[in-house]
Structure 1
């Protein structure tokens, strides 16, 4: 099973050279939400994960990790 990975989001944002504010602007999400997603305090809905992936030029699957 796959679940959202805060680490994958943070790594992807860093590799894209974006701040949380910039990613928020590109994805239409508030920067404080992105902070919560990256710190594992919130899990994005599918529509939010899709917006983040699109803003980062990734697939939603890239923001997930495999768990047992």
Structure 2
């Protein structure tokens, strides 16, 4: 039974060590993404940009589309 307590204590200690290592690596910038901003301009065409329109503008666009059909 005492072996379970020893193993439990050791596993908690290892978990705490890994958690501290993770926090230190995050604070040092290990997981910062430096690649995506440099290639973001290549993929601008794929992004759908929506603009906020008021109800009046929406109705005008709807009427214009109906006239085209």
TM-score, scaled to structure 2: 0.24
Higher relative contact order (CA 8 A, sep 6+): 1
Q: Which has the higher helix share?
A: 2
Between structures 1 and 2, the one with greater strand share: 1
